[in-house]
Homo-oligomer: A and B are copies of this chain.
Amino acid sequence: MKLNIALLAGDGIGPEVIDQAVKVCDAVAKKFNHDLNWQPALTGAAAIDAVGEPYPDETHEICVNADAVLFGAIGHPRFDNDPSAKVRPEQGLLKMRQKLGLFANVRPTFTFPSLIDKSPLKRERIEGTDLLILRELTGGVYFGERGRKDDGNTAFDTMTYTRAEIQRLAKKGFEIAMTRSKRLCCVDKANVLESSRLWRETVQAMEKDYPEVEVSYEFVDAVAMRLVQWPSDYDVMITANLFGDILTDEASVISGSMGLMPSSSIGEKARLYEPIHGSYPQAAGKDIANPLATVLSAAMLFEDFGLTEEAKEIRRVVNKSLAEGIVTEDLADGAKAYKTSEVGDWLAASI
């Protein structure tokens, strides 16, 4: 297969972890006879510095014409304590999601047997956890009207959802649930919000089209609690943009190593793959960041193109590196810590 992949390394540790994923993908392509065509493009603070824009038109052109996007991370501390900065890296992220129509963010959370004791949660609470949060990514309060009134003394944001937006996301949720344990949980705040009531009503109406899927409805506050109490109770969850932002980050704690959690964001046509850790500026340039989340994101990419064996091969070498202790300092636990680039080289060589 020939795949054109846009390569958006972004900020902080982004470039370093992306480099390792590219090595691993190239090794897989060689082994399985695929042709990967990497197309680097600017994004984030790096793009602001170069062209004054966090998601430049040229980058969008490249992404829109690619088969998939591999994304590192964006964000830079110099923007963090200046919420009123006119141009911010995050705007690039939001613009990219919207312009590429990436309406569904897929965030699996699972445990690695060898890392289970790294979790802040007790082993018996998390063993067997394998859940997936499907976060709506191009609607809700992220993209509603917002502004100021009364000479700047009143601020407002609007949380809006249309039935069609909810159906589109929920359909993906039902479909994914059908490939897993056939349980779907709709997470909302329908006891307060009208938009949540529309979510609940829309999902309820879709239940008849998926008679095998068992659907439950829970309030976001209760889920924030239960998710760390009994994470293995959950399977597929669907939720609005803001709730998903909070819950996916909360869920990332379960596995014990955020440095390993991959994600994908999908649209009608576009597909983007990224590690869930951020740009982690403190570690940037030091060759110490864990590249596995990005490597596992690349596995999701292969899988989405039906290249299951290729995805399996990536996961196999990742597990092997964990078992043999070829890991970065976050996982080294006193033993020898390998550099980001060393882990990447080792993985590529093992394929």
Binding site for B on A (CB under 8 A): 81, 83-84, 88, 90, 94, 120-122, 125, 141-142, 144, 146-148, 150, 152-164, 189-198, 200-201, 217, 220-222, 224-225, 228-230, 242-243, 245-250, 252-253, 258
Contact = CB atoms under 8 A, between A and B. Distances in A.
Nearest to A119: B122
Given A154-B161, A163-B153, A147 B194 contact: yes
A142 B152 CA distance: 21
A41 B90 CA distance: 50
A135 to B, nearest CB: 11
Contacts of A220: 245-246
A82 to B, nearest CB: 10
Contacts of A163: 153-154
Nearest to A227: B250
Contacts of A155: 160-161, 194-195, 197-198
Contacts of A201: 83-84
Contacts of A150: 162
Contact of A193 (B121, B146, B148, B162): B146
B192 A142 contact: yes
Contacts of A94: 192
B144 A156 contact: yes
A56 to B, nearest CB: 20
A332 B3 CA distance: 60
A164 to B, nearest CB: 8
20 contacts: A83-B191, A90-B191, A94-B192, A120-B125, A141-B192, A141-B193, A144-B156, A147-B194, A150-B162, A152-B198, A156-B159, A156-B195, A157-B195, A158-B158, A158-B159, A221-B248, A224-B249, A224-B250, A225-B258, A243-B246
A229 B245 CA distance: 17
Contacts of A196: 83
A139 to B, nearest CB: 11
A88 B229 contact: no
A286 to B, nearest CB: 21
Contacts of A120: 121-122, 125, 228-230
A245 B189 CA distance: 10
Given A125-B120, A160-B154, A247 B229 contact: no
A253 B220 CA distance: 15
B249 A189 contact: no
Nearest to A243: B246
A157 B158 contact: yes
Contacts of A157: 158-159, 193-195
B141 A159 contact: yes
